[in-house]
Amino acid sequence: MLTANGDLMPEPLDGVPEVFASGQAGLFDVLPARDFEDSRQIYLSYACGTMDANHTCLARGQLGEQGLENVSELFRVQPAKKGSAHYGGRMVWLPDDTLVLTLGDGFDYREQAQRRQNHIGSIVRLNPDGSVPDDNPFAGHDTYQGEIYSYGHRNVQGLAYDSEQGRLIAHEHGPRGGDEINVIRPGANYGWPVTTHGWTIPVRG
């Protein structure tokens, strides 16, 4: 943690949720609330769980003098997966005060990125309290996960909102090349692993 002058604090911040740290797993992103000056709330994306059962998770807490207070988990990817690769974890606010969070395919779970029955390999859009926005493309669906905003992603590691053009833009790591920069549209399928400009991967099942 840094002071307002950029000096490194001698002690770590208290109250951070327990993070699963291994390989590519860890603490991913920190995003202040839109009303941070008044609410002092911040959002954390991180890996939680164990090597045999872990998730990308989202939590919210209030920044106090010594650390985070009133921390609560708002969202976690379902189902759990094994391993420690491809979590996504980037966050950005949209103008309507919804939060977008990128997710990865877990590497060994790439086929799940085409299945909207789970969150793996998707980008999700949430209300500030973690609930599903009513206008999400699959909100209220009997089978699909309502949080999903787009799917068919491998491992989105860059995310930005272009306010001038009104575009949500994501950077996605490709396999052995084939990296992508995509304009994200609600409900769209971005093809992974069926379509890729990297090396060809057979799809099982």
Per-residue pLDDT at 164: 95
Per-residue pLDDT at 199: 56
Whether the pLDDT of residue 89 is over 50: the answer is: yes
Per-residue pLDDT at 29: 96
How far does CA 198 lie from the centroid of its chain? 23
Per-residue pLDDT at 116: 98
How far does CA 175 lie from the centroid of its chain? 20
Task: Tokens 């609600």: give the residue.
Answer: 186
Domains of the chain: 27-183 (2.120.10.30)
Per-residue pLDDT at 205: 43
Between 201 and 187, where is the model more confident? 187
Instruction: Determine contact, residues 43/99, Cβ cutoff 8 Å.
Output: yes
Preceding amide of 79 cis, omega within 30 = yes
- The burial class, CB within 10 Å (0-12 / 13-18 / 19+), for 47 is buried
Structure tokens at 164: 């001038």
Amino acid at 89: G
Beta carbons within 8 Å of 198's beta carbon, 6+ residues apart: 174, 175, 176, 177, 178
Reported as a single tens digit per residue, the pLDDT across 21-72 is 999 999 999 999 999 999 999 999 999 999 999 999 999 999 998 889 999 9
Per-residue pLDDT at 9: 74
Reported as a single tens digit per residue, the pLDDT across 96-113 is 999 999 999 999 999 999
Point out the residues that are catalytic.
Answer: 86
Amino acid at 182: N
Reported as a single tens digit per residue, the pLDDT across 142-199 is 999 999 999 999 999 999 999 999 999 999 988 877 889 999 999 999 999 998 876 5
Weakest mean pLDDT among 3-17, 21-35, 112-126, 132-146: 3-17
- Name the CA dihedral angle for 93, 139, 54, 52, rounded to a multiple of 10 degrees: -160
Q: Report the relative pairing of strands 156-162 and 99-103 from DSSP bridges.
A: unpaired
Whether the pLDDT of residue 200 is over 60: the answer is: no
